[in-house]
Every structure is written in structure tokens, then in C-alpha cells.
Amino acid sequence: MQLLAVGAFFTGLSFIPSALIQAVGQPRKVGVLLIAEMPLFLLGLWWGVRWAGTAGAALVWSVRALVDLIVLMIMAAPSMPDGRALIRRAALPALGTLAVLGGAFAIRSLGLPIRLAILAAVLVPFAIWAAGPGLAEERRALRAALDPRY
């Protein structure tokens, strides 16, 4: 269930770049990506089930969801004002946050209260960074692109 929860998290995040790509009139890109992923996913699924049963299937699905998220973000970047720079600036803080959270939740001996404290200690500064200076320029550029009077 934990592996599926991680995959569901990645899938939820992937709706954002997917919707952007479709909103700018390029839904075919999303469809082609999903069709291209299918053979690799099926091969990985076969391997994962043979290797670890249900847990292997969950792991393969979660990895597919992560790859889907990354590729969709790369595909959506040209549709955003200064999109490539945004990905470069946000990638390291996001990956660092993900690594710390993944490590904290992988160590089961810490206990749930400590892991939740780590979650708060990592996500709160990341959210403050993203809501404040981290993405401020992108918000200004997006507002200017949507409303020329801004």
C-alpha cells in the first residue's frame, strides 16, 4: 500500500503538467507518451510480479508514475514562461525534499510521530520557499502572459 501511495502521489502531481499541455492545444503529446510507455510498463510489470509479486507490481507502477511525471514536466516546460529555467531552479529543492521524505519514511524504526515531525520540518520550509521567493518570478511571468495589463 505504501508503494501504491507513492505512485498515487506522483500520478496526482502529473495531472498539472498534463493539463497544461492539453490546455495549450497539444493533447496528442500526452496520448503519445502514454502509448509509448505502455510496452515498457507491461514488460516491467511482468518482471516486477515475477520478482516480488504484488509488491513488485506496485513498485513498477510507482516508478512508471514517476517517469510519467518527469517526462510530462519536461514536455510542459516550453508552454510556460521561462519554463526550462523554472524546472532547473525547482528540481534540486524538490528532489532534496523527496529524498529526505523518502528516507524518513523508509526507516520504520523511527515511529510515526518522528516521521511526521520530519515531514513537517521538510515540507514547511519547501512550501515557504515555493510560495515566496522560489517561484515568484514564474508567478509574475505567468500573470503577465495571461493579463497584458499586469
The full DSSP string for 60-123 is HHHHHHHHHHHHHHHHHGGGSTTHHHHHHHHHHHHHHHHHHHHHHHH-GGG-HHHHHHHHHHHH
- The pLDDT tens digits of the residues spanning 105-120 come to 677 777 878 878 877 8
Higher pLDDT, 138 or 129: 129
Mean pLDDT is highest, among 4-18, 25-39, 110-124, 131-145, for 25-39
H helix and E strand count, the chain: 5, 0
Alpha-carbon separation of residue 124 from 10, 59, 147, 150 (angstroms): 19, 28, 31, 30
What's the pTM?
A: 0.66
Share of the chain above pLDDT 70, in %: 89
